[in-house]
Amino acid sequence: MVRVRELTMRLPSGRAEITVLDGVSLDVGRGEFVAVSGPSGSGKSTLLGLVAGLDQPTSGSVAIGGRELGRLDEDALARLRRETVGYVFQSFHLIPTLTAAENVAVPLELAGRDDALGRAGALLDEVGLEGRAHHYPVQLSGGEQQRVAIARAVALAPPLLLADEPTGNLDSTTGAQIIELLLRLRRERGATLVMVTHDPALAAHADRVVMLHDGRVIGERRAANGG
């Protein structure tokens, strides 16, 4: 599903340059759940952003479903990002001036789906937010906002879900509920999941844990109770 080859990302830092990712290669099979762990600053978010096509690498390649992102034109890349990849951020990234239902409807409308708001309401029910459709993000708790963000991420049933520390801004009880939701949706939809996490308990749910340090893959292990 995901094929990353020799991915390098250098960014300017004053007069010098810092190497954020340094020759990262990674394969994620269809339906697999891979956790990415590593200390703060090790390049986890940068890697996930490159996999999502949100950014362009200095060198190396990313292919999703056999399609190399660097070879797609702008329109094709935008379509692939919208329909193939669902992205969940640590800080939710909801649009503050839109209600919960309107936020979830955004990708449906961009994809030209009929009855986007109606479908958005059904998705909100599915993530346990019955009765919250007309609330604005500021009127929702952190856990509720992340549920809205997850409903938005899965609205077009993308085969690939990317989540960057999705529980990083939540207390542990709420975080556990969010993980349960993500894992349930992934199971029901048979989606591939790549999740950045610091949490060893969470990583234990994964089929595989990839460890990053200073922009390099330094190790990989299969979780004891993975799957």
Ligand X SMILES: Nc1ncnc2c1ncn2[C@@H]1O[C@H](COP(=O)(O)OP(=O)(O)O)[C@@H](O)[C@H]1O
Angle at alpha carbon of residue 105, lines to 102 and 106, rounded to 5° = 95
Specify the residue, 45 or 103, whose C-beta has the smaller distance to Mg ion.
Answer: 45
Rounded Cα distance, 4 and 27, in Å: 6
Residue 27 CB, nearest approach to ligand X (Å): 20
How many angstroms separate the Cα of 98 from the Cα of each of 63, 133, 138?
A: 33, 10, 10
The footprint of ligand X on this chain (CB under 6 A) covers a number of residues equal to 11
Label each residue of 127-153 as H, E or C. CCCCCCCCCCHHHCCHHHHHHHHHHHH
Specify the residue, 20 or 133, whose C-beta has the smaller distance to Mg ion.
Answer: 20
Residue 143 CB, nearest approach to ligand X (Å): 22
Residue 175 CB, nearest approach to ligand X (Å): 17
Decide if 55 contacts 21 (C-beta within 8 A): no
Q: Give the x/- contact pattern for ligand X in 36-75, rule: CB under 6 A.
A: --x-xxxxxxx-----------------------------
State both tokens at 163.
């989540």
Rounded Cα distance, 76 and 15, in Å: 35
78-117 residues in contact with ligand X (CB under 6 A) are none
34-63 residues in contact with Mg ion (CB under 5 A) are 44-45
- 20 lines the binding site for ligand X (CB under 6 A): yes
Residue 182 CB, nearest approach to ligand X (Å): 18
Residue 19 CB, nearest approach to Mg ion (Å): 16
Q: Which does 11 bind (CB under 5 to 8 A by kind): ligand X, Mg ion, none?
A: ligand X
Specify the residue, 129 or 170, whose C-beta has the smaller distance to Mg ion.
Answer: 170
Rounded Cα distance, 183 and 120, in Å: 20
- 186 lines the binding site for ligand X (CB under 6 A): no
Q: Which residue has the tokens 């762990």?
A: 37
Q: Which residue has the tokens 């939710």?
A: 92
Interface with Mg ion (CB under 5 A): 44-45
